[in-house]
Amino acid sequence: MIRFEDVTKVYDTTSRPALDGVTTEIVRGEFVFLVGPSGSGKSTFIRLVQREEKASSGTVYVSGRDVARLSSWRVPHLRRDLGVVFQDFRLLPNKTVFSNVAFAMQVLGKRRSLINQTVPEVLETVGLRDKAHRFPHELSGGEQQRVAIARAVVNKPAILLADEPTGNLDPETSWGIMEVLDTIHQNGTTVVMATHDNEIVNTMRRRVVELEAGKIVRDEAEGGYQPADNTAQLQSRLRKTEVK
Ligand SMILES: Nc1ncnc2c1ncn2[C@@H]1O[C@H](COP(=O)(O)OP(=O)(O)OP(=O)(O)O)[C@@H](O)[C@H]1O
CA dihedral sign of residues 48, 51, 57, 63: positive
Q: Which of 8, 14, 168 to mutate to test the pocket of ligand 1 (most atoms within 8 A of CB)?
A: 14
Please tell me the predicted confidence (pLDDT) of residue 112. 97
End-to-end C-alpha distance for the chain, whole angstroms: 33
Query: pTM (2 decimals)?
Result: 0.90
Please tell me the predicted confidence (pLDDT) of residue 226. 41
Distance 40 CA to ligand 1 centre (A): 7
15 lines ligand 1 (CB under 6 A): no
227 lines ligand 1 (CB under 6 A): no
The domain limits of the chain are 1-81+158-244, 88-156
Let me know if 226 is exposed, middle or buried by CB neighbors in 10 A (0-12, 13-18, 19+).
Answer: exposed
Please tell me the predicted confidence (pLDDT) of residue 220. 84
Please tell me the predicted confidence (pLDDT) of residue 239. 52
Let me know if 181 is exposed, middle or buried by CB neighbors in 10 A (0-12, 13-18, 19+).
Answer: buried
Please tell me the predicted confidence (pLDDT) of residue 14. 86
Question: Please, are residues 244 and 173 in contact by the beta-carbon 8 Å criterion?
Answer: yes
Please tell me the predicted confidence (pLDDT) of residue 188. 95
Secondary structure of residue 207 in the 3-state scheme: strand
Mean pLDDT for back-to-back runs of 10 residues, the chain (244 residues): 97 93 96 96 97 96 94 90 95 97 96 98 96 97 97 97 96 96 96 95 94 95 47 53 43
Ligand 1: nearest atom to the Cα of 45: 18
Ligand 1: nearest atom to the Cα of 196: 25
Give me the DSSP letters along 44-85.
HHHHHHHTSS--SEEEEEETTEEGGGS-GGGHHHHHHTEEEE
Ligand 1: nearest atom to the Cα of 19: 14
Nearest 5°: the CA angle 212, 50, 183 is 85
Q: Which of 4, 19, 40 to mutate to test the pocket of ligand 1 (most atoms within 8 A of CB)?
A: 40
Fold held by 1-81+158-244: Rossmann fold (3.40.50)
CA-based nearest residue to 6, from 70, 42, 55, 48: 55
